[in-house]
């Protein structure tokens, strides 16, 4: 059974800092991994989808990496802004070839002006 | 606007009542999903559907029923609501492995 862990559960940084969010998963027979953002009281928004054939995926100030051999993914946020404050969740397929996702519990990020 | 619409956004009901949460998508995505989100548990899959008339259980299906007679609609029914079903419910659809979420329904069972 896939298990996804995100550490830390909460993170507070001053504005302008670069930061890394961590995600680990137990079943490395996956073909992709997704990072989502969730604002309070809202649904999830997909930020990045990394295919297993890729090592990295970039969107603006966000860069996600995937290392299947170690069961880890990271989300790098450059030059953080107060508007980046949200909960970030990673999700991996529940099994090889599965369309179901297993989610981590998220990292709540606060960027202090 | 195109996207996923969930209704109602907020619902209060009593134990033992039947409740239906609605989900409608305008993209004609084949895959649709229902999740519940609870403090301490994160997001958990209740049911999913690969196409109209094809549904399957997720991690926490007990007490829930789904149907999918049309591609665009995927209602979730709580047959006899219990307090433990108080939660935020999210519907999602998927295309090219990316999942798109609705805004959620906050359900309170008293």
Average pLDDT over residues B93-108: 94
Instruction: Using CA atoms of A77, A79, A81, A83 in order, give the dihedral in degrees to the nearest 10.
Output: -40
- Give which of A49, A111, A64, A105 is closest to A83, Cα–Cα: A111
Per-residue model confidence as pLDDT tens digits over B9-54 = 999 999 999 999 999 999 999 999 999 999 888 899 999 999 999 9
How many A/B residue pairs have CB atoms within 8 Å?
49
pLDDT over 70, % of chain B: 98
CA A76 – CA A97 distance, rounded (Å): 27
Phi, psi of B97 (to 5 degrees): 70, 0
pLDDT tens, per residue, chain A with 113 residues? 899 999 999 999 999 999 999 999 999 888 899 999 999 999 999 999 999 888 899 999 999 999 999 999 999 999 999 999 999 999 999 887 778 899 999 999 999 99
Nearest to A101 among B99, B102, B103 (CB): B99
Higher pLDDT, B97 or A79: A79
Residues of B in contact with A99 (CB under 8 A): 31, 48, 50, 94, 97
CA B64 – CA B85 distance, rounded (Å): 10
- B39 reaches A (C-beta below 8 A): no
Name residue, tokens 């946020």. Answer: A77
- B89 reaches A (C-beta below 8 A): no
pLDDT band at B1 (very low <50, low <70, confident <90, very high): low
Average pLDDT over residues B66-95: 96
Query: Is the CB of A42 less than 8 angstroms away from the CB of B50?
Result: no
Residues near A53 by beta carbon (within 8 Å), at least 6 away in sequence:
none
Query: Is the CB of A101 less than 8 angstroms away from the CB of B42?
Result: no
At B2 the pLDDT is 65
- B90 reaches A (C-beta below 8 A): yes
At A37 the pLDDT is 98
DSSP secondary structure code for residue A28 in this structure: -
At B80 the pLDDT is 97
A2-26 exposure pattern, b = at least 16 Cβ within 10 A, e = fewer:
bebebeeeeeebeeeeebebebbbe
At B102 the pLDDT is 96
Nearest to A99 among B42, B90, B94 (CB): B94
Q: Does position B101 have pLDDT exceeding 90, yes or no?
A: yes
- B74 reaches A (C-beta below 8 A): no
């Amino acid at each position: 059974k896939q298990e996804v862990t995100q550490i830390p559960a909460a993170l507070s940084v001053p504005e302008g800092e670069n930061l890394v969010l961590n995600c680990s998963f137990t079943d490395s027979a996956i073909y992709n991994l997704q990072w989502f953002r969730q604002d309070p009281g809202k649904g999830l928004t997909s930020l990045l989808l990394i295919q297993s054939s890729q090592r990295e995926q970039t969107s603006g100030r966000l860069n996600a990496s995937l290392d299947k051999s170690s069961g880890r993914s990271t989300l790098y946020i450059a030059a953080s802004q107060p508007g980046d404050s949200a909960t970030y969740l990673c999700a991996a397929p529940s099994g090889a070839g599965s369309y179901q996702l297993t989610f981590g519990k998220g990292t709540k990020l606060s960027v202090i002006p | 606007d195109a996207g996923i619409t969930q209704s109602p956004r907020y619902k209060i009901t009593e134990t033992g009542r039947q409740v239906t949460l609605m989900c409608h998508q305008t993209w004609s995505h084949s895959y649709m999903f229902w999740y519940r989100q609870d403090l301490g548990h994160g997001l958990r899959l209740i049911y999913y559907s690969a196409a109209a008339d094809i549904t399957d259980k997720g991690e926490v299906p007990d007490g829930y029923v789904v149907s999918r007679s049309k591609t665009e609609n995927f209602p979730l029914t709580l047959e006899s609501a219990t307090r433990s079903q108080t939660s935020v419910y999210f519907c999602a659809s998927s295309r090219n492995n990316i999942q798109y979420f609705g805004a959620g329904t906050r359900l309170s069972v008293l």
